[in-house]
Homo-oligomer: A and B are copies of this chain.
């Protein structure tokens, strides 16, 4: 029922559509580095769109470093080494396995953030972290309907840890990662699944991270964060009731 009123898919815009197709072709290896693209007018007629549309598509690909265009010469598939952006497309969420891989990435970054936070944290970070723990506890006593709040609190907890690390790249990357994971997984069912095994014991895992950061003990923070993510991965892997949407 809640699915019936889900957001309707907006018709995609032409440049995005074309950019996606070309990016796919490049990543799949159909177009190889150094290859010269057909001229813009030619490509435009081949795709059946105006040149301005095709230019917008190529502009996006150039932005990510997938294509290199030289005025007066042509456009070429760029060397993979010149890619300048890490992008998480909607294609990443087709299978549960993909989600697990993204969580692994998140885990690595978060653990590093916790380690660094233990030396760079300032008092205001500690207060914010305490707040997150309180929010978790409050959400737990609310039972099932508090599941979403629990997940949000955890995300905020690690965002704060990243902020406390003093490394804005860690912070921004984690933010992108979490937001993408969350925006694709907004179904309450999955939130429930992620939070189902939660209990005061899980809050304890987070508290261990907080305590280590407070005591400025990087090694302990590292271990505590790592332990939490390891257990979280295990909890998620054990659940078989998450549909492979």
Contact = CB atoms under 8 A, between A and B. Distances in A.
A111 interface: yes
Interface string A166-185: 01111011011101101100
**Closest 8 pairs between A and B when the two form their complex, measured CB to CB:** A108-B112, A85-B87, A81-B179, A86-B86, A56-B59, A101-B167, A60-B63, A85-B85
Q: How large is the interface on A (under 10, 10 to 19, 20 to 34, 35 or more residues)?
A: 35 or more
A102 B172 CA distance: 12
A170 to B, nearest CB: 6
Given A83-B179, A176-B86, A179-B83, A101 B168 contact: yes
Dominant secondary structure of chain A at its interface with chain B: helix
A45 interface: no
A32 interface: no
A172 B23 CA distance: 14
Given A59-B59, A109-B105, A116-B104, A83 B167 contact: no
Given A56-B55, A59-B60, A112-B111, A105 B176 contact: no
B56 A105 contact: no
Contacts of A89: 84
Contact of A113 (B19, B85, B108): B108
Interface string A63-102: 1100000000000000011111111110010000000011
Contacts of A52: 52, 55
A109 B101 CA distance: 12
Nearest to A81: B179
